[in-house]
Amino acid sequence: MTRGTTGTRGTSGAQRDWRGWREATEEALYGPAGFYRGPEGPAGHFRTSVHASPLFAGAVARLLCRVDEALGRPSSLDFVDMAAGRGELVTGVLAALPAEVAARTRAYAVEVAGRPEGLDHRIEWLAEPPGGGVTGLLFANEWLDNVPVEVAEVDSAGVPRRVLVRGDGAERLGEPVGGAEAEWLARWWPLAGEEGPREGLRAEIGLPRDAAWASAVAALDGGLAVAADYAHTRDARPPFGTLTGFREGRETPPVPDGSCDITAHVALDACAAAHAARCAPERTPPAALLRPQRDALRALGVTGARPPLALASTDPVAYVRALAGASEAAELLARGGLGDFVWLLQPVGSVDAAALLVDVPDHEEQ
């Protein structure tokens, strides 16, 4: 264990404080005094793609327009911003839409915190995703990584056990993982090397994220759902998990006391399969795609190309503006940074996700 101790404990008050990471994180992030209830919102503690540049909202607006075309330009087009923070993305998307599309767009912001003052009156503020009847684009930027999950760790006997945590961040091992959680681990995150389970291997059990994603996608009658997050797939799971904390722009140990964000990378392949499993047996759902953010954004017009030097002579102001835009685009596309995010594109109905990103290269650039 990296923190705390393992072994059995008595029935003292300290023992009663031990609980799974899912329950502890839920209270620390979303309880009455939780991290996400603070007035500063996520932007006060970490920099997301939304906060890095308005180019991101512009790209999402272009994606919404492509979904609109694929749907045949319906009379009412929906945009749902999951984990909306203080409404930065949905506000930017509305501002970037062509007037004709904006006039038909119903905008929803889904967030546990209260509605910010001064938010555009066209945006409906919700505590939960719409119950159904959505036609358009549902976009979840860094939502699933904050859906709390249990953590499992292999003990000295090779048995995966639930990790328990106290409010000060100390950990110990609890009961063996069983039932649906054990089945999920076996399918999506096997805790075994070539010679079998090895003590200390860890995993984040993604069942709550699978359920949350499938439920959100179920709100769509037609269109596209996108989840953008730091992620991994079954063939490359991190051996010791990814659970961590963030406070005031810095990574910090995850302590479930409401003082920091608590996050873990997402098994997006499992989320995609969870939606497919909900579809009726006689209906094969459209193919989902996983794409690096750098590829998705390039296909949506974010290139990072520097402006021609000649522009500096003919229009210095435009040159400086274009140079700043290129710098912002480079941050969104950067390897080792925001460009490493993964987009899960999950179509519903007749929409072809691949056709929406026709300019995505088949292979990574060398």
Q: What is the pLDDT of residues 152-168, one digit of tens each?
A: 999 999 999 999 999 99
Least confident segment among 56-60, 136-140, 283-287: 283-287
Residue 134 scores a pLDDT above 70:
yes
Report the mean per-residue pLDDT for the chain. 86
* Cα–Cα distance measured from residue 235 to residue 188, given in angstroms and rounded to the nearest whole number: 9
Q: Residue 44's CB: how many other CB atoms inside 10 A? A: 13
- Of 201, 204, 205, 192, the residue nearest 155 (C-alpha): 201
C-alpha distances in Å from residue 133, one per residue of 86, 93, 252: 24, 21, 41
pTM (2 decimals)? 0.86
* Cα–Cα distance measured from residue 297 to residue 59, given in angstroms and rounded to the nearest whole number: 7
For residue 325, what are its two tokens? Answer: 């835009």
Residue 324: predicted pLDDT: 63
Residue 39: predicted pLDDT: 66
Residue 342: predicted pLDDT: 96
Q: What is the mean pLDDT of residues 307-314?
A: 61
For residue 236, what are its two tokens? Answer: 């490359």
Using pLDDT thresholds of 50, 70 and 90, give the confidence band for residue 364: very low
C-alpha distances in Å from residue 2, one per residue of 13, 201, 243: 23, 12, 12
* Cα–Cα distance measured from residue 299 to residue 291, given in angstroms and rounded to the nearest whole number: 11
For residue 317, what are its two tokens? Answer: 């102001």
Amino acid making up residue 237: R
Strand-pairing partners, residue 289, are 345
Using pLDDT thresholds of 50, 70 and 90, give the confidence band for residue 49: confident
Phi, psi of 194 (to 5 degrees): -65, -25
For residue 199, what are its two tokens? Answer: 């003590």
Find the Cα–Cα–Cα–Cα dihedral 261, 146, 82, 52, rounded to 10°: 50
Find the Cα–Cα–Cα–Cα dihedral 338, 259, 138, 287, rounded to 10°: 60
DSSP state of 31: S
Residue 362 scores a pLDDT above 70:
no
Q: Higher confidence at residue 224 or residue 327?
A: 224
Q: What is the pLDDT of residues 315-358, one digit of tens each?
A: 566 556 655 666 666 787 778 887 689 999 999 998 999 999 98
Per DSSP, the three-state class of 286 is coil
Residue 361: predicted pLDDT: 46
Q: What is the mean pLDDT of residues 237-257?
A: 92
Q: What is the mean pLDDT of residues 206-218?
A: 96
* Cα–Cα distance measured from residue 255 to residue 253, given in angstroms and rounded to the nearest whole number: 6
Residue 250 scores a pLDDT above 90:
no
Percent of the chain topping pLDDT 70: 81
C-alpha distances in Å from residue 38, one per residue of 34, 41, 46, 153, 226: 7, 6, 14, 32, 26
For residue 110, what are its two tokens? Answer: 């889904």
Residue 188 scores a pLDDT above 90:
yes
* Cα–Cα distance measured from residue 55 to residue 96, given in angstroms and rounded to the nearest whole number: 9
Residue 321: predicted pLDDT: 66
Residue 7: predicted pLDDT: 35
Residue 277: predicted pLDDT: 83
Residue 311: predicted pLDDT: 58
Residue 177: predicted pLDDT: 97
Angle at Cα 182 formed by Cα 146 and Cα 194, nearest 5°? 100
Residue 20: predicted pLDDT: 97
For residue 218, what are its two tokens? Answer: 């179920």
